[in-house]
Chains A and B, each alone.
Chain A
Amino acid sequence: EAGVTQSPTHLIKTRGQQATLRCSPISGHTSVYWYQQALGLGLQFLLWYDEGEERNRGNFPPRFSGRQFPNYSSELNVNALELEDSALYLCASSLVGGMITGELFFGEGSRLTVL
């Protein structure tokens, strides 16, 4: 069974540009989560999507946005990139029921570098 897949693996952008990161959840999972892991800051919750709707959002500015498609895959968009957006962006998925018990399945991440 395929796990959570993310693309691209690496992405290099310059300040002010936009970045789009993609995530495909495990088959049958309807919930997708995005986390940011910046150097020295640990894993920070960004967004939670379920059944195409944004369910919760972490403490990030509005230039971080995303969406979930009918096939449950998801995109994370970061507009007006800043240097401090350089980080590993991790996507996770769960059955909604699985999330009730806390088990998230993470992908390997997309490393975004902003120059």
Chain B
Amino acid sequence: DAKTTQPPSMDCAEGRAANLPCNHSTISGNEYVYWYRQIHSQGPQYIIHGLKNNETNEMASLIITEDRKSSTLILPHATLRDTAVYYCIVRPIGSSNTGKLIFGQGTTLQVKP
């Protein structure tokens, strides 16, 4: 599975958009980009995933560059409850399914009042 690189930490003001970057320059054509987050002392929570088109759901938006070598997770109106570690994960799907997600160190997002 492709390796991802994320900044170790970021701050965001409450009510503002939080933009979390992820580099995945070695991503393959059959690999998706997934985002999970882990709020302190809780299990990770799925946020969103995408292949090459931008995606949006009720939690966030995912912007993937045209060359697919990087992506940005956007929380449009961050709240204090969005303070968490955010993980960007790249993995193949379908017949290449190994059941394994490789979690890196992630980005610790601190939302401040």
**Chain A residues proximal to chain B, CB less than 8 Å:** 4, 31, 33, 35, 42-45, 48, 50, 55-56, 58, 90, 92, 99-109
Contacts and interface: CB of A to CB of B under 8 A. Distances in A.
Interface residues of B, number: 23
B40 to A, nearest CB: 11
Question: Which DSSP category, helix, strand, loop or mixed, fits chain A's interface?
Answer: strand
B91 interface: yes
A106 B49 CA distance: 16
A56 B43 contact: no
A102 B93 CA distance: 7
Interface string B43-76: 1111001000000000000000000000000000
B80 interface: no
Nearest to A56: B99
Interface of B: 32, 34, 42-46, 49, 87, 89, 91, 93-94, 97-106
Give 6 nearest A-B pairs by CB, closest first: A48-B99, A106-B43, A43-B103, A45-B100, A56-B99, A102-B34
